[in-house]
DNA sequence: ATTACTAGGCCACGAGTAA
DNA sequence: TTTACTCGTGGCCTAGTAA
């Protein structure tokens, strides 16, 4: 059983798009070549090889030809489709990393207690955060690199606001779980230099207390990422 | 913006299957090579090109490397997936052809009136066919070729039965519409030589009368095909 | 107009090997 | 062990052209 060459994939897909699942459709090698971004000669060769591989059937009368996808050919496309479906749906939407608790209030701690933010936290997260933030230092480069890409995602968006004198930037929250135990949110601040070796968390609870941990403890963090992009 | 080469598709899919959507995963070129059915050298080159194309990110420390798919890389796979989804779901599940009414009772006409069949027609099609069958002769080779592939599909299956003396084979029915007007079923008989230049139809109505047509009239037939295979 | 052959360039791949 | 270089082979592709 000959296998479908990856180079022929697009060609086969194009024939299907022409309606060639059950009916013979008229296709010229010139037009097919243009559509798949190759030459007429390549299209001709593709058809020849697809035919000998049993992926399409051809009827040629004189200089015209009609083409239809075979069952085998359709199954081949379906198989690839199913493979991708599984990969895409089953690929984990979480980011896991380890780090150590570090001191310092964190740049966001003060701002996160402002009314303009807490009101939104209450309605969008369902709670007003415990005062202060938990800071976790990331040591491994692969983790901080991965975290830096979080900014591509929307997360839960807390809108900017103004108190009349100045404005305060947006905050993105990402549902997280520390040590597989305490629910919290990782926060990304608009107005922060984007150093991702230290990340901040807010929570309904006093995280340190809930985890019974102290300075320099190692923690494992799992962040949920939804597929809406900014 | 560099484009994803089709040869790299499988490689990228494999990285995703390893969990590399958000996290950096450890992958050796040797193992990756085996998994994609290529050499270690090819895997190495694939990674290099995927990286320079912006589809993956790599962190290399000494002889080990960690890999993560970029947003762009994931979008690329998603795009292909969506393309296939549309093609597969929107590809027409019907076969259309033209032919001419022809005389002769048709091989199936007599058998189709037998109780063992009519009982099943009543329950599975919802009606007892008008006596006799309509025969349509197919002239164009591309149509008879397409019809010959109908046997790969289940259709509506009428089971074989026995009257004590002999057995009568199965019948497959395919919902059809003639001249965009009369509902009927194309029938494929187990015990018929598989000549697909003449096809038979049964219907609740007298098809000729309903269409007001006679011998040698041209008709256009549309057959619905469901995706269950025999 | 059409399909598809031949010739030649270029690229993908793997073997060998370095680091 | 690892990654990735160089180099030779084979296969994909296009131009030219026949039919």
Q: What is the pLDDT of residues A142-195, one digit of tens each?
A: 999 999 989 888 899 999 999 999 999 999 999 999 999 999 999 999 987 678
**Does strand D come within 7 Å of the CB of B63?**
yes
CA of B66 to C1' of D4 (A): 16
Structure-token pair, residue A117: 């933010």
Q: Identify whether the C-beta of residue A187 lies closer than 8 Å to the C-beta of residue A112.
A: yes
pLDDT digits (tens, 9 = 90+) for A109-148: 889 999 999 999 999 999 999 998 999 999 999 999 999 9
State whether A71 and B143 contact (CB < 8 Å).
no
Same domain (yes/no): B23, B100: no
Give the residue from B90, B106, B122 where a domain finishes: B90
Q: Is A165 part of a structural domain of the chain?
A: yes
Domain boundary among B90, B107, B133: B90
**Residues B204 and B178 grouped into a single domain:** yes
CATH assignment of the domain containing B100: 2.40.30.30
Query: For residue B121, what are the contacts with CB-CB under 8 A and spacing of at least 6?
Result: B112, B127, B128, B129, B158, B202
Protein side of the strand C interface (CB < 7 A) = A 27-31, 40-41, 44, 47-48, 60, 63-65; B 5, 7, 33, 37-39, 41-42, 45-46, 63
In a domain, B129, yes or no: yes
Q: How far apart, in whole angstroms, are the C-alpha atoms of residue A168 and residue B6?
A: 46
CA of residue B37 to C1' of nucleotide D3, angstroms:
19
Min Cα distance A96 → chain B (Å) is 7
What CATH number does the domain containing B19 carry? 1.10.10.10
Sequential pLDDT tens for chain B (230 residues): 789 999 999 999 999 999 889 999 999 999 999 999 999 999 999 999 999 999 999 999 888 899 999 999 999 999 999 999 999 999 989 999 999 999 865 678 889 999 999 999 999 999 999 998 999 999 999 999 999 989 888 899 999 999 999 999 999 999 999 999 999 999 999 987 678 899 999 999 999 999 998 888 899 999 999 876 66
Q: What is the pLDDT of residue B63?
A: 83
Q: Which residues of A touch B17 (CB under 8 A)?
A: 87, 91
CA atoms within 13 A on the CB side of A115: 2
Does residue A67 sit in the same domain as residue A130? no
Same domain flag for A54 and A130? no
Comparing B167 with A226, which gets the higher pLDDT? Answer: B167
Domain assignment of residue B219, yes or no: yes
Q: Which residues of B touch A17 (CB under 8 A)?
A: 87, 91
Looking at the structure, do residues B102 and B152 belong to the same domain, yes or no? yes
Closest nucleotide C1' to the C-alpha of B7: C12
Q: Give the pLDDT confidence score for residue A104 in this predicted structure.
A: 64
A61 and A110 in one domain?
Answer: no
Q: What pLDDT shows up at residue A14? A: 96
Contacts of B66 in chain A (CB under 8 A): 142
pLDDT for the residue B154: 87
Under an 8 A CB cutoff, do A87 and B142 touch? Answer: no
- Please indicate, yes or no, if residue A229 is contained in any of the structural domains: no
Give the pLDDT score at B213: 85
B103 and B82 co-located in one domain: no
- pLDDT beyond 80 at A229: no
Same domain for A102 and A78: no
Q: Is residue B20 part of a domain?
A: yes
Domain co-membership, B136 together with B183: yes
Closest nucleotide over all strands to B30 (CA to C1')? D2
Residues A32 and A106 in one domain: no
Chain A interface test: which of B17, B59, B84 (most A C-beta within 10 Å): B84
Residue B230 in domain: no
Number of domains forming the structure of chain A: 2
User: What is the end-to-end Cα distance of chain A in Å, rounded?
Assistant: 46
Say if residue A72's pLDDT is above 80. yes
Residue B76 lies in a domain: yes
Q: Which residue of A has its CA nearest to B150?
A: A22
Which of A46, A65, A90 finishes a domain?
A90
Contact A142 B66 (CB under 8 A): yes
Instruction: Spell out the residues 6+ positions from residue B112 whose beta carbon is closer than 8 angstroms to its own.
Output: B118, B121, B129, B133, B171, B187, B202
Mean pLDDT of chain A: 92
B230 vs A25, residue with greater confidence? A25
Interatomic separation, CA of residue B122 and C1' of nucleotide D2, rounded (Å): 71
- Any domain includes A41: yes
**Nucleotide in closest CA–C1' contact with A62:** C2
Same domain flag for B139 and B206: yes
Residue B196 belongs to domain spanning:
94-224
Locate B140 and state its tokens. Answer: 């164009």
Distance separating alpha carbons of residues B33 and B11, to the nearest angstrom: 9
Contact across the interface for A88 and B96, Cβ inside 8 Å: no
- In angstroms, the CA A69 to CA A51 distance is 9
Shared domain for B51 and B103, answered yes or no, is no
């Amino acid at each position: 059983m000959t296998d479908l060459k990856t180079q022929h994939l697009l060609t086969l897909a194009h024939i299907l798009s022409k309606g060639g699942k059950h009916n013979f459709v008229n296709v010229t090698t010139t037009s097919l070549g243009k559509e798949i971004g190759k030459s007429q000669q390549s299209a001709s060769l593709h058809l020849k090889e697809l035919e000998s591989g049993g992926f399409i059937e051809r009827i040629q009368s004189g200089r015209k030809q009609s083409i239809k996808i075979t069952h085998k050919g359709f199954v081949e496309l379906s198989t690839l489709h199913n493979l991708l479906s599984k990969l895409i749906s089953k690929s984990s939407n979480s980011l896991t990393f380890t780090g150590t608790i570090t001191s310092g209030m964190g740049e966001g701690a003060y701002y996160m207690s402002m009314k303009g933010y807490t009101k939104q936290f209450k309605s969008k997260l369902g709670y007003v955060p415990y005062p202060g933030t938990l800071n976790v230092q990331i040591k491994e480069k692969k983790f901080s690199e991965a975290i830096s890409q979080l900014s591509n995602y929307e997360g839960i968006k807390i809108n900017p606001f103004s108190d009349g004198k100045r404005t305060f930037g947006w905050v993105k929250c990402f549902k997280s779980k520390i040590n597989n135990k305490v629910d919290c949110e990782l926060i990304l601040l608009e107005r922060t230099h984007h150093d991702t070796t230290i990340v901040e968390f807010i929570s309904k609870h006093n995280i340190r207390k809930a985890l019974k941990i102290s300075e320099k403890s190692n923690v494992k963090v799992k962040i949920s990422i939804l597929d809406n992009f900014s």
